[in-house]
Amino acid sequence: MSVLQIPGVANIRDVGGIAAGTSRVREGVLFRSGNLAHLTPEGDGMLRARVRRVIDLRDDGEVSAEPSMLRDVPTTRVPLFIGSVASFFAEDVSLAGMYRHLVDDATPRLIDAIRVIAAGDPTLVHCTVGKDRTGVTVALALSAVGADREQVVADYALTASQLPEARTRSVVRYLQSRHPDARNAIDLATASPAPVMRDLLAGIERQHGSVARYLREGGLTDAELDALGRALVE
């Protein structure tokens, strides 16, 4: 995986290079990031040179508050959360609980996002900070084509170190003031611990046999899974 420097975009990287069986994930095909609301004109040109399609996993309120500044790249909206982001903080849901919510309750939307990736165009997946919705979507896509588990987990875990420090400090202060008794709020906003993603993927395998089978049971066809493999794996 390669961390990129695109002016105005945080937490952006190319997940290419991750081992997948005897091969590896292609470079220049699947990217992940935080939102594109602060993309500069220079960053716009750099990103348009790499990306042909965008998947925006945010809800309507998030998009309205921070609209994308990327020009002339087709964007597919796939709001993953059923309900608002704020509800997870209000209910003090854990990271593991939030990810299980996505896997259990948002399967059709996850599959919609993965279908876009399977089309084979160089694709950027993003949400607000590129941690949770993006992390789960990318981990499922990679795992479905046989990407190395520990490298997939390492890609997810990298996010916490890529979030802007000033933003993290500001978010922590805000959450401490609004949710002083919450146990999980700061982790929800800032953390990407490897064991959480490792356990999520292992749980899917225990329940469904494999991530690929989970996606099949959710409606992804064998032809679409084959296309995903051709798109992502060299």
Residues with active-site annotation: 127
| Under 8 Å between Cβ of 179 and 49 | no
Cα angle value 72/80/30 (rounded, 5°):
50
CA–CA gap between residue 7 and residue 226 (Å, rounded): 35
Residue 66 to residues 38, 60, 70, 72, 160, Cα–Cα distance (Å): 8, 10, 12, 18, 21
Go through the chain and tell me how many residues it has: 234
The DSSP secondary-structure symbol of 25 reads B
The DSSP secondary-structure symbol of 176 reads H
Joined together, the tokens standing for residue 73 give 């790249």
| Under 8 Å between Cβ of 31 and 123 | yes
CA–CA gap between residue 82 and residue 91 (Å, rounded): 14
CA–CA gap between residue 203 and residue 198 (Å, rounded): 9
Joined together, the tokens standing for residue 28 give 């220049």
